[in-house]
Amino acid sequence: MKHAVVTGGASGIGEATARLLSKNGARVTLVDVNDERGARVADEMNAAGGEAVFHHLDVGDENGLLELAASLFAEGPVDVLVNSAGILQNAVRLNDMDLAEYDRIMDVNLKGAVLACRAFGSRMCAAGAGSIINLCSLTSLTPSPQLAYGMSKAALKILTESLAAEFGPSNVRVNAVAPGYTLTPAMQQRIDEGARNPAKMVEAAALRRLVSMDEVAEAINFLSSDKASAITGVVVPVDCGFLVGSAYQAYAAQP
């Protein structure tokens, strides 16, 4: 039985990924700051026949991550790390951006992934096996007015590619998914608040729809599996064709 650690596992893409990994036979450790939701998700996974446990931990807490990694590896290898913990941001101009928000986004989206990769990746390398999947974004690949969010996700792309090269000789693979507009609870909240225009999101995608959380989870599950044993250092868009659709539609003439 593989052991997977999923940060941000109490909701959204992290939750969907944790549930799918559990369904496919993995033992899952959920890491999140939402105690009530995290405990409930773990209980539901166990009730469905899985093996899951929840740990309250902020991914910005380096000592906490080191202690958790040491504790889990003392019981046996951690085979998969999914860095899903993240904070969204609304569109904002540089001079209007709250620097406290900037700091928090960088701490969670980028530094949290760095710290988790240090805590778990080093032990995976020592064990000679492992798979790490980071949650990038379309903003890893193209600019957006979400300045802090975009910078954090662009840096995650470089982190993914650099660690794939560094960890590869130790048989540890590092990949990422780049979800497009995905209908998570956080995204739905922003749609309800008027901070996102769902019509524009759908119109720009080649498939003319939003991505589901389960679709992103399926991509993560594949990258973490032995079926992807020769794949490392890639960032896979899961975007219903937003990248190609938006670029195609922006061309000065249409056929």
Residues catalogued as catalytic: 149
**CB distance 200 to 208 below 8 Å:** no
Cα distance from N-terminal residue to C-terminal residue, the chain: 53
Task: Dig out the tokens for 49 from the structure.
Answer: 């026949």
**CB distance 30 to 41 below 8 Å:** yes
Helix, strand, or coil (residue 176):
strand
Transcribe 44-102 into DSSP letters. Answer: HHHHTT-EEEEEE--TT-HHHHHHHHHHHHHHS---EEEE----------GGG--HHHH
d(CA 238, CA 215): 8
User: If residue 38 lies in a helix (H) or strand (E), which one and from where to where?
Assistant: helix 35-47
Residue 57's φ and ψ, nearest 5 degrees, are -165, 130
